[in-house]
Amino acid sequence: MDLTPEVEQINKYLSKLRHQSPYDDEINDLIDDILQKGGKRIRPLICLLSFEMISNETRNDLNYAAACALEIIHNASLLIDDIYDKDFYRRKEKSFYLQYSTFTAISLSYSMSSLALSLASKTNTLEIMDELLKALQTLSTSLFLEQKFRSGTNRMTKKEALLLIDRKTSCLFEAASVIGVLMGTSSETDREQMKKFGKFFGRAFQLRDDLLSILISTEELGKSGVWTDISNRIQTYIVLEALEIEKGETKKILEEFFIQKKDYPINQIKEIVSNSKAIQSIRDLTENYINQATAILEKYPISASRSKLIEITNSLRIQI
């Protein structure tokens, strides 16, 4: 299904943001540069399509303001994530903090988050502002929680790994779905169902991203992916599954590398994980979340917007 018209409209709105920005030209130029570097625009797409599916109403500028606020917060969070993870590659070029400075990246992240809240306020809907603020609050705790879970020599639990996924990834998809519902005529049940959709979608999205970082090259992925995950000894859900499944020498190596912080070549660790039965296990878990998300959408009447949301969800299915 062709989503080009929707993406073009989102990009058009983003390109005009400097006219709504309180910042000077130099800061606006940097924000423009970040927002026009690409991205699939999945969060604003989910927001707009959820709005249409539930309300059966036509989009207007206020809908785009709320949807694009989500995209801005997402990009603002990537600036901080790249610093924290020491990622050197984002959207097929050097990470922003390496192009400019860590200070500039942190400063721009503040500015972009503030701009996003300003856009959302245009809707004059307190519930929409509340959802966006809750997403920001959740994101702001994710790195603290990540550092807590991943410091020391303790193995994370899969429950902790899933909580991190929910805080770092799912929260913005939940917000996108719920804000879309809030922009039109809807029920409390609609809000609860679409919040679940966002959670399931976000979990599938992150698990798929982690899988692809193992299975394909950095060039194909467009970001650092597995290399910084491994060099930072990050216990992703896939790693935890491999630690649980592997036996003998390979299990010992993984435990020594991720838990005891002993040095092994990154290629060796990547090979062990990529050859582990954990890969199929995570594929199955990803499919399960996709199916749960799709089942929620299929409760609603057939429409073009529902079909597009289902298509976006099905695009998370791993073909390799």
d(CA 57, CA 46): 15
d(CA 50, CA 59): 11
Instruction: Kindly report, residue by residue over 57-67, the tens digit of the pLDDT.
Output: 999 999 999 99
The residue ranking higher by pLDDT, 237 or 87, is 237
Instruction: Kindly report, residue by residue over 232-255, the tens digit of the pLDDT.
Output: 888 889 999 999 999 999 999 999
For the chain, domain boundaries: 4-314
Q: How many CA atoms lie within 13 A of 144 on its CB side?
A: 5
* Helices 278-297/304-314 angle, 10° precision: 170
- What is the rounded average pLDDT of the residues 196-200? 98
Structural tokens at position 279: 């890969």
d(CA 277, CA 139): 31
* Band of residue 88 on the pLDDT scale cut at 50, 70, 90: confident
* Band of residue 224 on the pLDDT scale cut at 50, 70, 90: low
**Residue 225 pLDDT > 60, yes or no?**
no
4-8, 133-137, 214-218, 233-237: which range is least confident on average? 214-218
Residue listed under structure tokens 């030209």: 25
Q: What integer pLDDT is reported at residue 226 of this predicted model?
A: 56
- What is the rounded average pLDDT of the residues 183-198? 94
Q: What integer pLDDT is reported at residue 223 of this predicted model?
A: 56
Partner residues linked to 90 by β-bridges? 93, 223
Topology of domain 4-314 in CATH is Farnesyl Diphosphate Synthase (1.10.600)
* Band of residue 296 on the pLDDT scale cut at 50, 70, 90: very high
Sign of torsion over alpha carbons 23, 171, 65, 185: negative
- Residue 313 CB neighbours (<10 A): 23
- Whether the CB-CB separation of 123 and 67 falls below 8 Å is answered with no
90-94, 151-155, 171-175: which range is least confident on average? 151-155
Q: What integer pLDDT is reported at residue 300 of this predicted model?
A: 96
Residue listed under structure tokens 């966002």: 198
Which letter, b or e, does each residue of 209-236 get, where b requires 16 or more Cβ atoms within 10 Å of its Cβ? bbbebbbeebeebebbbbbbbbeeebbb
Q: What integer pLDDT is reported at residue 200 of this predicted model?
A: 98
* Band of residue 319 on the pLDDT scale cut at 50, 70, 90: confident
pTM: 0.93
Q: What integer pLDDT is reported at residue 166 of this predicted model?
A: 96
Sign of torsion over alpha carbons 236, 279, 78, 60: negative
**Residue 284 pLDDT > 70, yes or no?**
yes
How deeply is 107 buried, as exposed, middle or buried, from its count of CB atoms within 10 A (0-12, 13-18, 19+)?
A: middle
- Taking each continuous run of H as one helix and of E as one strand, the counts in the chain are 17, 2
For 222-290, the DSSP string reads: TB-THHHHHHTT---HHHHHHHHH--HHHHHHHHHHHTS-----HHHHHHHHHTSTHHHHHHHHHHHHH
Q: How many CA atoms lie within 13 A of 74 on its CB side?
A: 23
Q: Which helix (H) or strand (E) holds 188?
A: helix 188-215
d(CA 220, CA 222): 6
**Residue 55 pLDDT > 80, yes or no?**
yes
